[in-house]
Amino acid sequence: MAQRPIFIPNLDKGRYVIKEDIEFEWHPGMSVQQKQKSINSLHESAKNKGIYPVLEISTKSELSIGRNLSAFNLLMNFDNNKKITVEAAYQGSKVFEHGGPYREFFYLTGKKIKKDEKLQKSGKLIEFDFNGIKWQLKPVNAFYDWLYINALYQNRDLSNQILDYKGFSDIEFNPNKSINCQARAAALFVSLYKHKLLDSVISDRNIYLDLIQKNENGLKNKTKSRQTELDLFSQSNNPMQI
């Protein structure tokens, strides 16, 4: 058995995305077929908990919409009407102690970027710099999610297809090893849309950051007695920072 999160758009006041950990049968192996068996098992377990339908967002998704929404494939507008993937935009905006941002990453595939030694040899990550605009490391996930929801906003033919999903998964995401997750970002997009906040968030980065910070602070205030530090997102039953 294994455990992976399902991210659920939420309309309740005070939080936008619920993280529900689901236990399911894991099918070992690196092939796409094995990954898809695990995805189907995860979704079946989620359905048994009343979370349905769920969309897998990754290159391993059985559905073309899920593959197209992978950060390795999802395109966003860049300089002079050029388009780059969300993954390239994120990696190419990293500023380290001893280097970066590495703008050449903007025009590489996600797989090539991941193999580039500069990511490991440039020291500690200190901030992001995208198109001359700097982002701090906190709130956690803020920059990555901003890139992703902007890309979704620009691709309305894709984003319109996900509004009725009850949850989103990414079989490759392991919360013990990673922070950012495209499935969570998609759930945030849907939640902001249904809260009628999407247009204002897209139009003004400061509104977006203020919204996230207020949400984060509100959640912290509610859980001081448990001494739990929360990010924008909350896990059902046992909130934790992810």
54 inside domain: yes
Encode pLDDT of 70-85 as tens digits. 999 999 999 888 999 9
Mean pLDDT calculated for residue range 179-198: 97
Report residue 39: phi and psi, to 5°: -60, -45
- The count of structural domains within the chain is 1
Q: Is residue 66 a part of any domain in this protein?
A: yes
Residues 6+ apart with CB under 8 A from 235: 5, 18, 19, 20, 21, 242
Is 23 a member of any domain? yes
Lowest mean pLDDT among 32-46, 152-166, 225-239: 225-239
Residue 200 lies in domain: 2-73+162-235
- Does the pLDDT at position 238 exceed 50? no
| Average pLDDT of the residues in 110-138 | 95
Residue 39 lies in a domain: yes
Share of the chain above pLDDT 70, in %: 89
Q: Is it the case that residue 225 has pLDDT exceeding 60?
A: no
Please indicate, yes or no, if residue 127 is contained in any of the structural domains.
Answer: no
Within the chain, strands assigned E span 2-9, 17-24, 54-56, 75-77, 83-85, 94-96, 125-130, 133-135, 167-169, 234-235
Q: What is the pTM of this model?
A: 0.88
**Which residues does residue 214 pair with via DSSP β-bridges, in sequence order?**
none
| Mean of pLDDT over the chain | 90
Question: pLDDT tens, 145-157?
Answer: 999 999 999 999 9
91: in domain: no
Is the residue at 25 inside a domain?
yes
Return the amino acid letter for 111.
Answer: K
CA dihedral sign, ordered 10, 232, 190, 236 = negative
> Is 193 among the domain residues?
yes
